Amino acid sequence: MTDYTEYFVATQQASRTLAAVAPATIDALLRALADATVAQTDFILAENAKDLARMPATDPRYDRLRLTPERLQSIAQDLRNVAELASPLGVVLSEKSLPNGLHLSKVRVPLGVIGIIYEARPNVTFDSLALCLKTGNACLLKGGSDAAASNAALLTVAGPVLAQHGVPPAAVTLLPAERAATEALLTAVGYVDVVIPRGSQGLIDFVRKNARVPVIETGAGVVHTYFDETGDLINGRAIVANAKTRRVSVCNSLDCLLINTQRMSDLPKLIAPLAEANVELFADGPAYAALLGSYPASLLHTATEAHFGTEFLDYKMAIKTVPDLGAALDHIARHGSRHSEAIISENQAHIDTFLRVVDAAAVYANASTAFTDGAQFGLGAEIGISTQKLHARGPMGLEELTSYKWLVRGQGQVRA
């Protein structure tokens, strides 16, 4: 069995070296890496093509795995965006002087060594690198075997850039793609300060069950939008279409439309743009009846209970009719994943209730859930969308990758 201790020791040592690297150096490194990524587009895409060749194009993960020149440009821009952000390190959260003359200050510091476990999403490699380095954290990256060539290519580009800026390459370590590396990372007590899983519910459940180091969950996104009796039809059409079809393979995409029974006559118009994108619908009885004859028969199916609470990650969506706001809230509480939820309404009381009651990391009124994204939230990039409540929730940017410590300055004080 492979011993991964050498990886862990090297990354832990690199995390201490990072503490002495000036923030300006990290910013310069990220800008240089952005330039190198664009310059090495052909090499990266060639390696990505090897991964794509092993995955059927019909696989819901295919779109997440696929890199394009445009996506590499976007990844490079995210690196530059992070470089422009203010570093959270050393920020004084609070300070005070005690009667005995001791001066206390509470300051932001790195978490230390962060393990990130993810599946077929090579963009996560540089998102993790950028946010971890910007916050003074070393990272152990465990990508899935589906993206092994892509991830290795990105680290091949990054290695020389790190070294040129005085950062040990071990500060960003890509672990072997085999499953044993995941198990070793989850039990690397004393070497790893926290593990963040990014991927399917199955991956997250596996990490939660097997980890002996602390975990920050970035859960699956079972996303709802409720169109109430006062919802604006024009806005609703645009919001539903964007939330469902902008990019179906991401965790903020719409999975279930909840529609008030008073608006059934508007349902065909509300979801008409979805037909143009060939979205399959799984509708309950009333919704099916309302759409019969107006929505393509080949794309319209009767929903079963299993369709509610499903993260489709595909051109598929469930529709559930509800009599009122209370029923919509009950459905979301029963089937949601605490990721992103939305209401389309012109009733301010309904909006206020929805925003207050819904238990999710991001709750929207009259906007697409596609905005649940670190870059869109002004965080530069994200390491994941946390669906838990301790330490971090929602898009995890720079501040969420820090802890704090107390600095105590005295002049010889001793305790009686």
Which pLDDT score is estimated for 252? 94
Helix 69-84, helix 23-39: angle, nearest 10 = 170
Contacts with 369 (C-beta within 8 Å, 6 or more apart), sequence order: 223, 225, 243, 252, 253, 254, 340, 341, 342, 362
> Could you give the angle at which helices 41-53 and 23-39 cross, rounded to 10 degrees?
70
* 3 state DSSP class of 257: strand
Domain with CATH 3.40.309.10 in the chain: 224-371
Axis crossing angle, helix 233-245 with helix 267-276, rounded to the nearest 10: 30
Going residue by residue through the chain (416 aa), what tens digit of pLDDT does each one get?
578 999 999 999 999 999 899 999 999 999 999 999 999 999 999 999 999 999 999 887 898 899 999 999 999 998 999 999 999 999 999 999 999 999 999 999 999 999 999 988 899 999 899 999 999 999 999 999 999 999 999 999 999 999 999 999 999 999 999 999 999 999 999 999 999 998 777 888 899 899 999 999 886 789 999 999 999 999 999 999 999 999 998 889 999 999 999 999 999 999 999 999 999 999 999 999 999 999 999 999 999 999 999 999 899 999 999 999 999 999 999 999 999 999 999 999 999 999 999 999 999 999 999 999 877 887 767 788 888 888 888 888 899 999 999 999 999 999 98
pLDDT value, residue 192: 97
Question: 349 Cβ partners below 8 Å, 6+ apart?
Answer: none
Length of the chain: 416
- Give the whole-angstrom CA distance, residue 15 versus residue 89: 14
Task: Copy the structure tokens of residue 61.
Answer: 């993960």
Cα separation, 141 vs 44, in Å, equals 18
If one counts every other C-beta atom within 10 angstroms of the C-beta of residue 70, the result is 8
Task: Tell me the C-alpha distance between 304 and 356, whole Å.
Answer: 30
**What is the strand order of the sheet 138-142 is part of?**
172-174, 138-142, 113-118, 194-198
Element (H, E) at 209: helix 201-210
Assess contact for 404 and 106: CB atoms under 8 A. Answer: yes
pLDDT given at position 380: 67
Q: Are 138 and 132 in contact (CB under 8 A)?
A: yes
Q: How many CB atoms are located within 10 Å of the residue 266 CB?
A: 17
CATH code 3.40.605.10 region(s) in the chain = 5-218+383-409
Q: Helix-strand-coil percent breakdown of the chain, rounded to 5?
A: 45, 20, 35
Distances (CA, A) of 373 to 263, 278, 286: 31, 25, 34
Closest by CA to 149, choosing from 129, 177, 115, is 177
Compute the distance between CA of residue 143 and CA of residue 124 in angstroms, rounded to an integer.
9
Nearest to 235 by CA among 369, 367, 371: 367
Q: Return the pLDDT at 25.
A: 97
Q: What pLDDT was estimated at residue 205?
A: 87
Residue 404 CB partners (closer than 8 Å, separation 6+)? 93, 106, 107, 108, 109
Tell which CATH classification among 2.60.120.260, 3.40.605.10, 2.60.40.10, 1.10.510.10 matches the domain 5-218+383-409: 3.40.605.10
Model's pTM, two decimal places?
Answer: 0.81
Query: What's residue 298's pLDDT?
Result: 97
Cβ 262 vs Cβ 227: under 8 Å: no
Which residues 6+ apart lie within 8 Å of 54 measured at CB?
A: 146
Q: What is the pLDDT of residue 117?
A: 95
**Residue 342 contacts residue 367 (beta carbons within 8 Å):** yes
User: Alpha carbon of 156 to those of 80, 117, 152, 389: distances in Å?
Assistant: 19, 19, 6, 36
Q: Pairing state of beta strands 138-142 and 113-118?
A: parallel
**What number does CATH give the domain 224-371?**
3.40.309.10
Q: What is the DSSP letter of 2?
A: -
Q: What pLDDT, in 10s, does the model give residues 178-219?
A: 999 999 999 999 999 999 998 777 888 899 899 999 999 886
